[in-house]
Each structure stands twice: as C-alpha cells, then as structure tokens.
Structure 1
Amino acid sequence: MILKNAYIWHNGIFVRRDLYIKNGNFVAKLENPEREINLEGKYVFPGFSDSHAHVLGVGIKSLTLNLEDNDIEQVLHSNREIVIGRGWSELPSDVSKLNDLKKPVILIRRCGHVAWINKYAMSFLKCNDHFIYEEELEKIWKLLPEEFYVKAFERGQEEFLKKGITSVHSDDLHGVSFETLLRLLRESKLRIYEKLYTSEPWKYEYGTIGISKIFGIKVFADGSLGGKTAYLSKPYVNSANYGKFTLPENFKEIVKFANNNGLQVCVHTIGDEALTRVLELLGKNYGHRIIHAQIIKKSDFSKLQNFVFSIQPHFFIEDQKIINYIPKGNFLLYPFKQMFNNGIKIAFSSDAPVSPHDPRYVIEGALKIGFTLEESIKLYTEASGMIINENIGKLHPGFKADFVVYSDKSLTNIEAVYVNGEKVY
C-alpha cells in the first residue's frame, strides 16, 4: 500500500512525502503497490502509544456509574443488582444513605486503590469495614460475569482508538480468565502490550498473540497518594500512617523468572520508601520498569539510570491538593523533566481510567512542567516502544504501520486510524 501526497510528521515538523506499507510495516520503497490512497492535504501522525493504562478499566468505567461529581442519587435509583461506580476523590457526606439498600453497592475511588462498600456489600464480600484497599479490591471483580468483561474490553479498545491511540501497555488480568484474555488479545484491533498482574507468572504463557503481545509481569509495591496508601519513609501529614508496602514476598523469584524468560517486571511504585525498597531488591537486575515514581529520595536518583519508567506528566497538575499530604523531606516530587534531562528512559502514559485517555490531555500536562511539544510527542509515541524494544511510534521503515490521519495540523480532527496497516477507526 502507498499513502500519497500527505504531510508526514518528521522530527517536529510536517514534511510532504509518500509512505509505503508492506505486511503491516513501513518500508522504504514498494514496487507495484496493490493499493493507493491519496491523502492530498491530510496530516499523518504516528499512532500514540500509552505506556501504562488499563483497556479493561476504561471499558468498565464507561459501563458503570461515573462518580466524579459525587452524585449518589444515581446510585440510590440504579436498578442494577450490583451497583458499581468509580471516580470519587472525597466521599459525599450523605453516603450513609446507601446502607439502606438491600444490594451490594461498591464505590471505587478515582485512583482505583480504595473502595467504599455499603453494609450489604460488607456481608456479601465478607469484609469488616466500609473501606477496602489494594488487593482486597480483587474480590469485587469476581462478582461480575465474564460476559461483562468481554463487553468492557471491546468498549475500552474503541475508546483508545477514537483518540488516536494505536497501542497500549495494558493490565487486564482482573476478573477475566486467562483463556478469555488470550481470545480478546487475539481479536483486538488495538495493539496491546499486556503485562500480567500476578505473583505466579510461571502459570501463564507469553509472546505474540495476533498483533498484540504478552511481554511482562505487573506487581504493586504500594498504593496511591490520594488514598494515602503510597508507601512513604515518613508518615503522612497529621497522621501516623506511612501507607502500605504491598510487594509480593516472592518478588526476587518473580524477577528471576522474568530474567530467564526475557520478560519485563513492571512495578507500581509511587512512594519514596517503596521505591527505595524496590531498587534494593532489583539490585543489578537492570531493564525492568517502575510505573509512576512520583516521590523519589534525592539519594536514590542516581540509581534510576538502569531502569525504565512509565510516568504521567499530568499527575503533577492533578495532584496539587494531595501534595499537601506529603511530609517535608529530602525528596524530589514528580521530577519527570529532571529524569528526562539526565538521560533516564521514560515514556508517557495516561494511567486511564484514573485520568483521561486523551493524548492532548497528557501532552498539555507535559508542556506545563517544561517539556517541549516535540519531546512530548516522542515520549508518547516512539519512547513507548523503546522501553520494551518494539518498533512503534515512528513513521519510518522497519516500524509498525500504526498511524493516524488528521484533517489539519492542529491534531484535533481525526479522519482515520490505522493499526498494522489496516484501517480500524
């Protein structure tokens, strides 16, 4: 296939030239192409690649109640047998009304690390408190039928594609069986790089599945700042709480398995003390990934060079209120630009559904903390592939033919999205 007469994104500018595609990849030249598409006056951009988000989570959020405006009336009047909503930052003052409902009500915080459940759900889930945290939330996902997750996954991939995101490093082994996950990956039109949430990675298979790939293992070292479960070296302000350290006890065994099988371990790590402990346990097992890294001890900064990072530049803007929870100390807070300037390998991500799965939103956050537009685009396209040695995010021979066609250079009006050389949106 040949794309003719388009303006192609190249090194920060648009250049008028043709693009050639063969077997799902860009090539330097193509004799006698079977198809020719005239893109006269259109702008072609590499597909955005989100280095850490949740395809299933985005779909689930779209199929459940949105609690971002703290409206519990929609919960009270829901006709669902199990009421699930997500998005609150501070619980509404009248949440106790929900204890009168004779069905499970589960309200998940925006961060996804804390949930409030009503009395009926407490009994249903065998919990002793209205609040559940971290791995306890896995109980929730066992309540819903597998057909729900299939629908949610399909909705999630559609949501990413329509924003011009052609690949996602996702985390979807929640509620859905591994057999069903394999089927979803095989049928996916979105290119998915899957990291399996498990402390027993030897139970699963890895490698290429359709246009997607299971490449790694996901574990949690702590929780979230907003939920006050990120693990700190000093207690949260006006509290005796340090957060939670949740790294699996067999972490070294997981890393050894990953090393022996060419997999990447991806560790959710937000608090400074969690990061210190993860770096100590990783030692010289280089090349693995830290996700988030929002609070870093200055003494740990030099140790970051040997690892790769998925970071969210917009979190610094979103978290201005909860930064007040962080105690004073010898920390670097959200030092993403400093990491980049020091040659540490980072890639941008949205962490959707925690934040909007919109490249413009992520890039606007990056511009506000000092990244240039060209840097931001590279970190949300090509860099996402670089941290896992995949040729994506670049309109160049040898790279996957994942791209977006826009009607103008403002990059707001998407006309078509291609993955592996095929139109998918």
Structure 2
Amino acid sequence: MQPMLRHALSGLFVASLVATLVVVIGPGTAASHHDVSMVAALSVLLAATYAVGFVGPAWPAGSRRRKRPAESFDTTEGNPGRALRWLGALTAVWACLMAISAGFGWLGFPLFALYVLLLPLRLAIAAVALGTVIVVAAKGAEAGVVEIPQVAGPLLGTLVSTLPLLGYQSLHRESQARQALIHELVVTRDALAQSQREAGRLAERQRLAREIHDTVAQGLSSVIMLLRATDAALPPDTPVARERTAAATEVATVNLAECRRFLHELSPPPLVETPLPEALRRLVDRSADDGLGTAFHLHGEPYPLGAERDVALLRLTQEALTNVRGHAHAETCVVSLCYLDDRVTLDVFDDGKGFDPELPLQDSSGGFGLHGMRQRMEELGGVLTVESTIGEGTAVAACLPIPHGGTS
C-alpha cells in the first residue's frame, strides 16, 4: 500500500476513535462509570491492536520481505493470513465497543476501507457485509426497533466508503499490469537488439574472413607457388639466390599458416541450425580414428549460451581433440558437457601419455593452441585448467559463468 494512503487511513481511524470517545464518554454524556471504564479499556485495546498491525507485517508496504517494488493493494500476492488475523482482531474489539454504544459505528468507515484494501475481494465483501450487519444491529438495539433509517444509514455509509476504494484499487491494478507489460516489452526489445547486434557481428566476421581468404590468403599461396617455381628455374650455380628464395618461401608459408589460423578463428562453426551439444557430439564422433575410442556425455538441460560462448567451447573441443590425436597416443577420449544453473562446464579427458603442464602448450601447427583457448575463456569471464601427469593422461576443463538476465 502506498505510504500516503496508509497514513491517511490511519489518521482517519485515530480521528474517528477520538471523536467517538468524546461523543460517547466525553463531558456532558450520561455514561456510567462502569461504561466509561469498559469503553476506555476497549478503546486502548483497539488502538494497541491497530498499532501492532500498522508497524508490523500486516500491511503490504510494512513487510521488508517484498521482492518487487510495486505490490498490489491486497495481500493475495503475499500472505493474506496475517492481514486477515489482524483485521479479525480489530473487528472483534470493535464489535465489543458497538455492543456498548452504537456511536462507535463511525469506526466502520476506516475499517471497511481496510477490508477492501488488505483482503482478497471475496473476503473483503464478506467482511464489509458483516461489519454493516454489526452497525445495523447496534443501532437497532439502541433504538429498540430495526427500521429503514437504521438500515439505510449504515448501508449508504458502507457504499460511500468502499465503492471509491474499489475503483481506485482497480485502476491501481491496471496501472501495475501496464507497468509489468512495459517492463516485459523493454526486456524483449533489449534481447532483440542484442540478438541483432550478435547477428551483425557474426555477419561481419564472416565477411572479413571471406575477404582475407580471397585476398591475403590467396595472394600468399600465389607467392609461394611463384617462389617454388623460381627456385626450380634457378641455375645450379646460384646458391645465394636459392637460399634467399627458400627463406622467402618459408616466411610466406609461415604467414599463410597464421592467416589460415586467423580465418579459422574468424569463421563461426556450423551452430546456426545445430545446438552446441549436437555439434560437439558430431565432432567427437568424427574424431574417432584407429585405436582411439571417443565418447560424449551431456549433463543437465541445455539452454542458450550465446554465439560467442558456443564458438569458444566448440573451438576448445576441436583444439583438445587435435592434441589428443596428434600427441597423446591415447586409447580413449571422453568429452563431457554440463549445464548448471549459473555456469556451463566442458571437460576433455584422455588416457594418453600425458605431459608436463608447466611447458608451453602449442598445437601441432605451431599456433597458440590451448594457450589461446585459455585467453578466450578469460575474455568471457571463464577459467581453463589443464591437469596432466606423464603416463596418466590429460584433463582439460573449462568453466564459463552465465550472467544473470541472459547471455550476451
């Protein structure tokens, strides 16, 4: 409940209680000493009961355990039992006061408002009806007869005090629903914009890869072919020219290899139509050769990681399997992908000859190998660990955290 409305109702309750006490037991009234004592005691109890609910958890805004900044006025989204018990205690004390004097019927206005604002609609209607019956019965008992004035007055007061609040509550709920819809639209818009940025980034990577392949890579290949043709055409008695031609060929070959590695990094894997687990499974199946048994295990329920994380995990698996086939002399290699709530892990284990993890890790072509994969994992906020013992195999483990609110 909004603080302004909450304090306004509390002020109305206190003002109604004070005004009624002045009318019922104030100076010039014919109340007996016994009635004054009873009314005073019950009034103090009523005020104390109200104060307990005001500072305690019966009000929606008074609860510190709310998870959303905008709560509805009723407690159906929280715990209506607390408000129901509090209002039940208030109603019981108020009914005792009504049994002494019908003048306490003025307290029905703030009580009925609390019924409407703090209880589910059906309970609120029942509580308001019960309160109206209490007022009618008290006025009828005081007058000695129940006639139209004793019924029409409380009924009209009930309608005047509750119908505007019902309309206000309905408008507030519609406003909350509209705010929730706006928030959902904003989140969806941001997700769509992120998806479009990711698609644009991948498209630019593909374009750049094609341009490099069609220009630099092809040019280096042509240079190597021309150098080899030149070397074959040189006379036998030109050692200096042959040496320089061989050096140029070696430089061009190395640069072509680096260019192809760069193209390999730029070109996204075939993950557009194939989920990551299935792509890894196919990669593991294709990696099996003579003497090497492979297996792929999936744990947890797969969920989208984002293209960048998918690419990183697939590249890591490719690199690890390349090293296993080229260096490990293993009989078995197992790849495990595990989806957890806040992270995803990838493990590649082989039972090969192992190596010293302190030595630099390079792939068979002299590239960055697992060292490059470690850098890529760190850029994504993840960790790559390599554990190996000579003669006991190697385990490569990657862990990527998944940011809350979606992947990038």
What's the TM-score bracket when you normalise by the shorter of the two chains? under 0.3
The structure in which a higher percent of residues are strand is: 1
TM-score (norm 2): 0.18
- Higher relative CO (Cα under 8 Å, sequence separation at least 6) belongs to 1
TM-score (norm 1): 0.18
